[in-house]
Amino acid sequence: MWMGFCVAAVDRGGPRSTPRAAEVRVSRGACAGVYCRPSQRARACARRRAQDQGDESFVATRDILVPIGTLSLIQSDKGGMLVKRFGEELAAPMARLMQVYQRANMESAEMMSDPAKAREMTLEFTSVMEKVAEAKAQIDTRILLSGDFMLLQISAMQEALLQAEGISKPIADAWLAYKLECMSNEAVSAGRAPPPPPPASLRPHIATLSRLEQQSSMGFRLPQSQYTFTDFMRTAFQDVGGVGRAELEKLGDDTTALVKLGESYGTFDRAGKLAYIDQVEKMDERWFLLFKRYQLLNKLGPEYFEFTDQYLKDVQLKTPQEYHQLLARARNLMREAAERT
């Protein structure tokens, strides 16, 4: 689910009015100079297409995770507040769903011999599932309306994960609606009526959708860890002081400023959005190069590797390379959306 986001952003001023690309480019010293000219953008787009297609030379080097884009340890104030609210709103229906599920397991033998009991339980389970689906749909809508880059990136990663399986988000939503309809039909008819036939749009994807459902992979999930950016700064690097520590803190400040600017991403024009995505990737690259340097010096702390290993398990991915490939696809989806602005 999405409740694992941690807020570590520092408020550096209110949201800005709609910026042009040049305004995005000069946002704070950390962000200056990364706006691409058309020729540069064409080369960058070609490189990103290769990344999206799984170019081995790109993916193979991404063997560690970094705090922006991937770990998302730095959140804007708006994004952090919304994620906290989303977690609170989902907590009650999710807790109720688990209660009903556990009760159904405990009373499974009784349900098999008592059709009325089975009907009652199925109706209750369907009702709770509908509430969870409704809450999830409302959160999806509010993420899209928030305009916050980091939240929109979550939505893009969910879409990219489904697209990798040949499934669009409308198809996934239609599958959930169909499953709820089947459950309701079974409850009302006490199992005597056959399930309704799936819509034509779902039929080519039923095998894939069923597999993803069994694997709980119908959406990209964020981890439940309370590991914050402060923890990261304390544990990721060992025996780093002086110039190295100042460099790390400067990069953290620059990243926080960039994420803060991303609160207003939804108000940017087309060029501003494209320039901002470029800046985020530049910041990713700065973190990655710093990590590789300290990795070669054996100065990355064991707590950090433990956290990133658990992170990959939480989001149901196997390797950092797999995550970076998913992130590249998500960023391409965001570029496509920006082009339509």
Looking up tokens 């962000």 gives 31
Q: What is the structure's pLDDT at 338?
A: 95
- pTM of the predicted model over 0.75: no
End-to-end CA separation in angstroms for the chain: 29
CB 147, CB 266: distance < 8 Å: yes
CA-based diameter of the chain, in Å? 74
Cα separation, 1 vs 5, in Å, equals: 10
Tell me the domain boundaries of the chain: 21-76+223-339, 79-214
Cα separation, 311 vs 159, in Å, equals: 19
- The stretches of the chain forming alpha helices (DSSP H) are 21-25, 28-31, 38-52, 56-59, 77-106, 108-113, 115-146, 149-163, 169-189, 206-214, 229-235, 243-261, 270-296, 302-314, 320-339
Question: Which residues, in sequence order, are CB contacts of 116 under 8 Å at separation 6+?
Answer: 190
pLDDT digits (tens, 9 = 90+) for 8-51: 222 333 333 333 443 343 333 333 333 344 444 554 555 555 44
Please identify every stretch of the chain with a pLDDT value under 50, giving residue numbers as ranges: 1-40, 43, 50-56, 69, 223
Q: What is the structure's pLDDT at 268?
A: 95
pLDDT digits (tens, 9 = 90+) for 188-198: 555 556 677 88
Nearest alpha carbon to residue 173 among 219, 111, 118, 114? 219
CB 155, CB 275: distance < 8 Å: no
